[in-house]
Chains A and B, each alone.
Chain A
Amino acid sequence: VKKVFKVVVIAAMAAALVIAALFFFKLMPGQKPGPITGRSPEAELEGPRVIDLYFADAAGRRLALEAREVTAQSVEESIHQAIRELIAGPRKESLSSTVPEGVGIRSVYYRDDIAYIDLTPNISSSHPGGSWAELLTVYSIINTVTENFSEVRKVQILLGGREHETLAGHIDISRPLPGRVQLLAGDW
């Protein structure tokens, strides 16, 4: 009985070794060291990826998705690309822009779960106004970041490098905000 037990234990140990070795060899070759950008080392990405941009529907009632491919290496660069595409507007006729033309991105950075999107202050003067239009603008930006980049928990929108109470007098953007996917259904 003792002998049988010994054999079983040795067999189990051998099996464990084989499995560990399999994992080791299978996984190691795939883990290429990412390019060093020096900005956010823990946030490297591999190759192109498809993301969903959050535009508005034609009636301006709710947010609606349109896919894009981004190819940047870091999370910050990808977010930058995504916001640039968002500002450029939708390709589908049935969708509507949420960010006024002529708005520029001053910078995008990412610290401690929070993405900071620093836009040119002309977004305030060129925004059409209206509570819901402003809500869609704010959350098209926030959702585009939080729903595509799981590293980002909240987004702080900055205008001209500074925090502002609102974009155009209605919706609170004074602090970092989480996404609201419910807006896809037109609900807050």
Chain B
Amino acid sequence: MRRFYPAVILLVIFTFLTGSSTEARTGSTITLKNFSGSGKHSGFLKIDGGRIDIDSIVNAFSLRTSVDIMGDRLDLVGNGGSCRLLLGSSLVLSKGLFAVLTEPFDTVDGKMSVPLDFLTKGLPAIIGKSVAMDRERQSLTVGPVGSGSFKGVNADHLDRYASFIQRDQFEPQASEESSYEGLRVVVLDPGHGGRSDGARGGTGTLEKDLVLSVSQKLKNMLEEDLGVKVVLTRTADYYVGLKERTAIANNNRADLFLSIHANAAFRKTVQGYETYYLSFSASDLEASQLAQIENKALGVEGDVREAPLLEAILWDMAQLEFINESGRFANQVQETLVRSMKGKDRGVRQAPLAVLMGARMPATLVEIGFISNPSQEIKLNRDAHQDRIARALFDAISEYNRKLIRGEAGGRRP
């Protein structure tokens, strides 16, 4: 997937929109012209008061968008990936990083817009090419990812440019991305442990023992049959904190995080399988805005790689960038598990699960059956049944891995 890009040359011409009103509000457009193909006009970027209309970016670069139910989160998706904007926030979230714009993404006169530095900070992640503005040479450079550092320009001065002359900085960057061979490190997280028993079956089966057993079986299968490195967050009956579990996955640079739990309900008749990935809500948005305030107070700018403190504040948001991939993996797990076990499908669900929050990789939690259901509890205690569950989870992971290699899934691309 997207190994090579033909050198698309964009000619960017600046023209002032109107000569009507004099100063202050200098409305202008950047016209994008595609010279590599038919040469037909491919769109324009509307600039007003140092801000760009989202619609014009979407049209010019043929992006897809999705807005969440609350209407406060906008995802922009292109051939190179995606990024997320939060209404009223200056943060651009992409590929596990948080860039900070000079002004927030907001609605001005009913139109969604972003400050100009979005072109260098957010757009590259979406179109998979670097975008650089060069004041001295008056150029907007569109090239492959990684061909340069993305330094924003001061939006105030941009309107002065008479024109942008395109330059093509295409430098083939074979190595890292094309050598992606699928999963290397998988972290399995047997739920609970130690003082945390988890759910308890009617005859005394403990969730913590059951999930450890299944996790160890799965670990052996993955190492032997798939050749990946597997790390368990706990290898015996002891307590590990929820944040610590995610930290183990992050520190091992895991490509996948699977938390394994056994289910329980208030009513004993309930049975079936569920798989979860993390949900985000409006309160998370507030958290990101808080982080933004902290960020301003610290005077931190640009790439979060340079700002460890901000990174710590945004722990809760770390999973956000991998959320689509987590959903894809969750679907794979649920589908395979239900099919293999011929069990009741209680669906893939999103929930604010504490153990998934800090994960910087696709992460899901699977509930491998209800031990609160007496007949299920008996089954879950059988070694052969545990083997079947472990095999079903193995099948799900190896199928996900096949899709990664074929380029049908995004995985953890840093």
Q: Which residues of A contact B (CB under 8 A)?
A: 56, 58-61, 96-98, 128-133, 135, 154, 165-166, 168-172, 174-178, 180, 188
Q: How far is the CB of A88 from chain B (nearest CB, A)?
A: 14
Quick check: A131 and B261 within 8 Å, CB to CB?
yes
Quick check: A169 and B264 within 8 Å, CB to CB?
no
**Chain B residues positioned under 8 Å from A177 (CB to CB):** 283
Quick check: B283 and A59 within 8 Å, CB to CB?
no
Quick check: A165 and B270 within 8 Å, CB to CB?
no
Quick check: B283 and A175 within 8 Å, CB to CB?
yes
Quick check: B200 and A129 within 8 Å, CB to CB?
yes
Among B108-116, B190-198, B374-382, the stretch in contact with A: B190-198
**Is B265 an interface residue when CB atoms closer than 8 A count as contact?**
yes
Quick check: A133 and B365 within 8 Å, CB to CB?
no
Quick check: B198 and A169 within 8 Å, CB to CB?
yes
- Tell me what chain B mostly uses at the interface: helix, strand, loop, or mixed: mixed
Interface residues of B in 150-209 (CB under 8 A from A): 191-192, 196, 198-200, 207
Alpha-carbon gap, A124 to B232, bound state (A): 25
For B351, give its contact among A56, A135, A168 (CB under 8 Å).
Answer: A135
Q: Which of B265, B281, B354 has the most CB of A within 10 A?
A: B265
Cβ contacts B339-362/A at 8 Å (1 or 0 each)? 000000010011111110100000
Alpha-carbon gap, A34 to B202, bound state (A): 52
Quick check: A132 and B267 within 8 Å, CB to CB?
no
**Chain A residues positioned under 8 Å from B261 (CB to CB):** 130-131, 170
Cβ contacts B258-293/A at 8 Å (1 or 0 each)? 000111111100100010100101110000000000
**Chain A residues positioned under 8 Å from B44 (CB to CB):** none
Quick check: B354 and A128 within 8 Å, CB to CB?
no
Alpha-carbon gap, A58 to B357, bound state (A): 30
Alpha-carbon gap, A188 to B346, bound state (A): 14
A178 and B283 in contact, given A58-B267, A60-B265, A131-B365 (Cβ under 8 angstroms): yes
Alpha-carbon gap, A60 to B346, bound state (A): 10
Closest to A55 in B: B266
Quick check: B351 and A128 within 8 Å, CB to CB?
no
- Tell me what chain A mostly uses at the interface: helix, strand, loop, or mixed: loop
**Chain A residues positioned under 8 Å from B283 (CB to CB):** 154, 175-178
**Chain B residues positioned under 8 Å from A98 (CB to CB):** 266
Quick check: A131 and B196 within 8 Å, CB to CB?
no
**Chain B residues positioned under 8 Å from A172 (CB to CB):** 352-354, 357
Q: Which 5 interchain pairs have the tightest Cβ spacing?
A: A129-B199, A130-B264, A128-B264, A129-B264, A60-B265
Q: Can you report 18 residue pairs joining A to B where beta carbons are below 8 Å apart?
A: A60-B266, A60-B267, A60-B270, A98-B266, A129-B198, A129-B207, A130-B261, A130-B370, A131-B263, A133-B263, A166-B354, A168-B198, A169-B191, A170-B353, A170-B365, A171-B351, A174-B354, A178-B281
**Is B367 an interface residue when CB atoms closer than 8 A count as contact?**
yes
Alpha-carbon gap, A169 to B264, bound state (A): 13
**Is B242 an interface residue when CB atoms closer than 8 A count as contact?**
yes
Quick check: B346 and A61 within 8 Å, CB to CB?
yes
Q: How far is the CB of B405 from chain A (nearest CB, A)?
A: 31
Q: How far is the CB of A53 from chain B (nearest CB, A)?
A: 15
Alpha-carbon gap, A174 to B355, bound state (A): 12
For A130, give its contact among B196, B199, B282, B357 (CB under 8 Å).
Answer: B199
For B367, give its contact among A60, A130, A174, A188 (CB under 8 Å).
Answer: A130
